């Protein structure tokens, strides 16, 4: 954090019951008011109402609620304008500029204090509850939070069912009044579903009003608190916070002094303001890691997609086959993917093509009986299968200058994982694994807990913190979706926590619009390990009876490396597939994953996204453009390029006959010379995309 300008002034407004605060641009206005002793707020954008009068409050278990009978004790306003540098990110410098209003409330009948803090940025507002240290509120249990988001009309929305255990759904695009989780196709490859009700949706919730406002409701800095879903009253367009309960129905156990997460409402008439916003990151605490030199971006390959397509297996002896072992000795099925030999093959491929890392899943014993039975002691995270020689593999990787990526599948048995975490990290350090991909497939143990409850939020954050103490990086899958905590623990390098590319391998898959929505929702909270780069689009390639396929063209798979920001990116397909399409593969080899700057050129949620990014370590730029199920033609100005440079632009685009469904592998690569004054025309196929690398010539 390099610059810090604050102006603060105190208003003693004991006789005043309302106060407004504006964004630095003055285009957003937030009004706080006490209405009959109850806290309320309203938000408008360019004088258009965005959030109508909405109530705020916290309900407590076994104590009087903190939602009414308040008076205002003081109101304080502060302006912050600073710039900070993320360790890894979409840009080298992030501006954090907002006006803050702190409303100190006093509830006389219980002699208790609660503050509500509002921050108004140029792209939206945020608020949180603050519980100061005080005699009559020390330990307390949140039984509910009543934060309302009272919308103005029947907006179009991209929603996921409010599921306490999974975000791995495809988005439904509908009006608010048409939301009904009963209508979501449940035959979608998600094994564990805990949908909270007909009218419960997930946040981040992306909306668009009839008059062209883009509105996004989300949260930031979820620490020691459950995830917030949203209860909808469909015909009133009203959303209310729905906190995820624990095993006995409580929401959060807190002790003063403490704060709730931030609740955010972003709004703009330009969708690019939402998708490029750093508000969620800004609302998180700065890095708690002092020395971040060991935190590094990674492009990686791995023994993973070959299991998804059925070429090999995670298990050594056959799935669900542990009980068939004679004398407890597993009999190899011959299909095990994570063998020493196969791993060396991937290491060779990574070294040859300049990848940083190799992930190996299925290396450790337990996969014969790991899934779907709420089993507690599945994996020990330290015992390799007999055909996986940890030492040989890590020595070989080291000799080739490649890093190994550890894999910890917990199968949801978090109690078991926490018991083994220290030993698991010791093993990583012993063999020089700098990062781990963790997985949480299955019902949580401690039993009764959900993936999105306070217990699990704390677990994910705990793992990030412990890994940081050991200088290890984490990439969690099936975790709760991030809310910007990677600012605070930048070793929490990526997460899945949404419907990833893998669903295309064996389910009804991800519809072509999927990747145009994620940057407006999931990615606001932090990088996603989406695992792009699938070249063999149709699973019939492996097995003629299979109908599953990736719902994009091959060229769009390349564009995703730019549109889906992550400092950890997988080249997910098999080495032999890349070797057959070496010219297209070149883009994956070239593309950067850590950036000096990012320019969102075009954006419309559910339709298209075009973004250009500048490599942090060079003068190279990369551009990704994607579209949904509709073909798209567009013309782009290249004025983001440095003015006095010539660039060789290598354009990876859909072939003229390309179509995600009928002809996905049709692509064309061409090279042109451009400058910052050039314009280029792009032509994206149905479900298609374009990827471009710009390399300075002079």
H-type alpha helices, 541-605: 554-563, 575-580, 582-590
As a whole number of angstroms, the distance between CA 248 and CA 246 comes to 6
- Could you write out the DSSP letters of every residue in 118-131? EEEETTEEEEEEEE
Rank residues 165 and 654 by Cβ distance to its own copies and give the closer one.
165
Rank residues 398 and 420 by Cβ distance to its own copies and give the closer one.
420
Q: Are 56 and 70 in contact, with CB atoms under 8 Å apart?
A: no
| Catalytic residue flag (residue 536) | no
Rank residues 138 and 671 by Cβ distance to its own copies and give the closer one.
138
Rank residues 416 and 610 by Cβ distance to its own copies and give the closer one.
416
Rank residues 429 and 580 by Cβ distance to its own copies and give the closer one.
429
Beta bridge partners of 634: 682
**Which residue among 478, 502, 515, 536 is the active-site one?**
502
What does the DSSP 8-state code read for residue 668?
E
Draw the binding track, 401-430, toward its own copies (x: CB under 8 A; -: no contact): --------------x--xx-xxx-------
Rank residues 178 and 418 by Cβ distance to its own copies and give the closer one.
418
Helix (H) or strand (E) holding 219: strand 214-220
Interacting span for its own copies (CB under 8 A) from 110-118, 183-191, 250-258, 470-478: 250-258
Dihedral sign from CA coordinates of 338, 340, 341, 346: positive
Residue 250 found at the interface with its own copies (CB under 8 A): yes
Buried b (16+ CB within 10 A) or exposed e, 298-326: bbbbbbbbbbbbeebbbbbbbeebbeeee
Q: Which of 246, 488, 504, 516 binds its own copies (CB under 8 A)?
A: 246
Rank residues 132 and 310 by Cβ distance to its own copies and give the closer one.
132
Q: Which of 375, 407, 437, 614 binds its own copies (CB under 8 A)?
A: 375
CB of 449 to its own copies, least distance (A): 7
What HEC string does 553-567 produce? CHHHHHHHHHHCCCC
**Which residues from 436-475 bind its own copies, rule CB under 8 A?**
446-449, 455, 458, 462
CB of 515 to its own copies, least distance (A): 37
Q: Are 96 and 82 in contact, with CB atoms under 8 Å apart?
A: yes
Residue 106 found at the interface with its own copies (CB under 8 A): no
As a whole number of angstroms, the distance between CA 40 and CA 355 comes to 52
CB of 370 to its own copies, least distance (A): 12
Interacting span for its own copies (CB under 8 A) from 27-35, 243-251, 559-567, 589-597: 243-251
Rank residues 376 and 597 by Cβ distance to its own copies and give the closer one.
376
Q: Are 246 and 81 in contact, with CB atoms under 8 Å apart?
A: no
Cβ contacts of residue 364 below 8 Å, gap of 6+?
Answer: 379, 380, 381, 382, 383, 384, 385, 388, 407
C-alpha distances in Å from residue 410, one per residue of 67, 380, 390, 444, 564: 39, 9, 20, 9, 26
CB of 137 to its own copies, least distance (A): 12
Strand 28-35 with 18-22, pairing: antiparallel
- Count CB neighbours of 471 within 10 A: 17
Residue 247 found at the interface with its own copies (CB under 8 A): yes
Which token pair is 132? 């100061």
Residue 540 found at the interface with its own copies (CB under 8 A): no
Rank residues 328 and 643 by Cβ distance to its own copies and give the closer one.
328
Q: Are 267 and 218 in contact, with CB atoms under 8 Å apart?
A: no
Interacting span for its own copies (CB under 8 A) from 249-257, 532-540, 597-605, 661-669: 249-257
Residue 327 found at the interface with its own copies (CB under 8 A): no
Residue 373 found at the interface with its own copies (CB under 8 A): yes
| Residues near its own copies (CB under 8 A), total | 27
CB of 139 to its own copies, least distance (A): 4
Q: Are 483 and 495 in contact, with CB atoms under 8 Å apart?
A: no
Which phi-psi region, left, alpha or beta, contains residue 381 (left: φ > 0; alpha: ψ -120 to 50)? left
**Which residues from 116-145 bind its own copies, rule CB under 8 A?**
133, 138-139
- Count CB neighbours of 431 within 10 A: 16
Rank residues 417 and 622 by Cβ distance to its own copies and give the closer one.
417
As a whole number of angstroms, the distance between CA 303 and CA 307 comes to 8
Residue 68 found at the interface with its own copies (CB under 8 A): no
Cβ contacts of residue 248 below 8 Å, gap of 6+?
Answer: 448
Residue 6 found at the interface with its own copies (CB under 8 A): no
Residue 255 found at the interface with its own copies (CB under 8 A): yes
Q: Are 163 and 178 in contact, with CB atoms under 8 Å apart?
A: no
Interacting span for its own copies (CB under 8 A) from 42-50, 160-168, 214-222, 369-377: 369-377
Q: Which of 374, 386, 429, 671 binds its own copies (CB under 8 A)?
A: 374
As a whole number of angstroms, the distance between CA 508 and CA 187 comes to 8
Which token pair is 679? 């314009």
The residues that touch its own copies, with contacts defined as CB under 8 A, are 133, 138-139, 246-248, 250, 253, 255, 323, 373-376, 415, 418-419, 421-423, 446-449, 455, 458, 462
Please list the active-site residues.
Answer: 502
């Amino acid at each position: 954090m390099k610059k810090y300008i604050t102006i603060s002034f105190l208003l003693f407004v004991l006789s005043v019951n309302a106060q407004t605060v504006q964004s630095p641009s003055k285009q957003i206005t937030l009004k706080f008011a006490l209405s009959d002793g109850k806290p309320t707020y309203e938000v408008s954008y360019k004088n258009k109402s965005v959030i109508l009068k909405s109530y705020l409050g916290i309900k407590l278990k076994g104590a009087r609620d903190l939602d009414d009978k308040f008076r205002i004790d003081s109101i304080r306003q502060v302006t912050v304008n600073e710039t900070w540098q993320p360790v890894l990110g979409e840009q080298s410098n992030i501006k954090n500029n907002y006006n803050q209003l702190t409303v100190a409330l006093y509830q006389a009948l219980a002699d208790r204090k609660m503050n509500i803090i509002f921050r108004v940025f140029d792209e939206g507002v945020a608020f949180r509850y603050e519980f100061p240290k005080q005699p009559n509120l020390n330990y307390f249990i949140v039984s509910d939070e009543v934060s309302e988001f009272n919308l103005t009309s029947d907006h179009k929305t991209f929603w996921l069912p409010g599921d306490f255990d999974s975000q791995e759904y495809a988005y439904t695009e509908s009006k608010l009044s048409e939301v009904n989780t009963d209508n979501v196709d449940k035959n979608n490859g998600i094994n564990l579903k805990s949908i909270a009700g007909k009218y419960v949706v997930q946040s981040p919730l992306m909306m668009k009003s009839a008059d062209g406002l883009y509105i996004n409701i989300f949260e930031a800095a979820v620490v020691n608190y459950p995830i917030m879903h949203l209860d909808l009253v469909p015909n009133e367009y009203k959303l209310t916070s729905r906190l995820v309960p624990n095993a006995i129905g409580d929401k959060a156990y807190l002790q003063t002094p403490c704060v709730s997460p931030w609740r955010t409402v972003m709004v703009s008439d330009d969708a690019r303001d939402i998708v490029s916003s750093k508000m969620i990151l800004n609302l998180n605490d700065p890095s708690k890691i002092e020395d971040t030199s060991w935190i590094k971006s990674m492009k990686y390959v791995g023994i993973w997609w070959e299991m998804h397509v059925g070429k090999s297996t995670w298990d050594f002896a056959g799935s669900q086959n542990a009980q068939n072992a004679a004398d407890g000795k597993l009999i190899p099925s011959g299909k095990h993917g994570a063998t020493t030999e196969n791993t060396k093959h991937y290491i060779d491929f990574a070294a040859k093509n300049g990848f940083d890392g190799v992930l190996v899943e299925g290396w450790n014993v337990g996969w014969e009986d790991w899934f779907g039975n709420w089993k507690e002691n599945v994996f020990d995270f330290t015992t390799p299968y007999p055909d996986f020689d940890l030492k040989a593999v890590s020595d070989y990787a080291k000799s080739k200058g490649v890093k190994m990526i550890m894999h910890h599948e917990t199968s949801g048995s978090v109690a078991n994982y926490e018991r083994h975490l220290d030993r698991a990290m010791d093993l990583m350090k012993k063999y020089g694994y700098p990062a781990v991909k963790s997985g949480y497939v299955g019902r949580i143990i401690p039993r009764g807990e959900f993936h999105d409850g306070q217990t699990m939020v704390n677990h994910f954050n705990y793992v990030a913190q412990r890994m940081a103490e050991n200088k290890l990086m984490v990439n969690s899958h099936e975790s709760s979706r991030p809310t910007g905590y990677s600012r605070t623990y930048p070793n929490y390098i990526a997460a899945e926590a949404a419907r990833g590319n893998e669903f295309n391998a064996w389910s009804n898959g991800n519809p072509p619009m999927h990747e145009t929505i994620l940057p407006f929702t999931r990615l606001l909270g932090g990088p996603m390990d989406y695992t792009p780069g699938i070249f063999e689009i149709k699973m019939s390639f492996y097995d003629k009876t299979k109908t599953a396929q990736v719902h994009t063209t091959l060229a769009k798979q390349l564009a995703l490396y730019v549109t889906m920001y992550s400092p950890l990116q997988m080249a997910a397909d098999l080495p032999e597939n890349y070797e057959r399409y070496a010219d297209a593969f070149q883009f994956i080899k070239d593309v950067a994953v850590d950036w000096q700057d990012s320019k969102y050129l075009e954006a419309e949620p559910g339709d298209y996204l075009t973004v250009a990014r500048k490599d942090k370590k060079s003068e190279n730029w990369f551009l990704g453009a994607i579209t949904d199920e509709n073909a798209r033609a567009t013309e782009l100005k290249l004025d983001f390029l440095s003015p006095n440079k010539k660039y060789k632009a290598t354009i990876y685009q859909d072939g003229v006959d390309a179509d995600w469904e009928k002809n996905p592998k049709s692509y064309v690569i061409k090279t042109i010379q451009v400058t910052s004054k050039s314009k280029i025309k792009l032509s994206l196929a149905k479900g298609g995309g374009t990827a471009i690398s710009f390399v300075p010539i002079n």
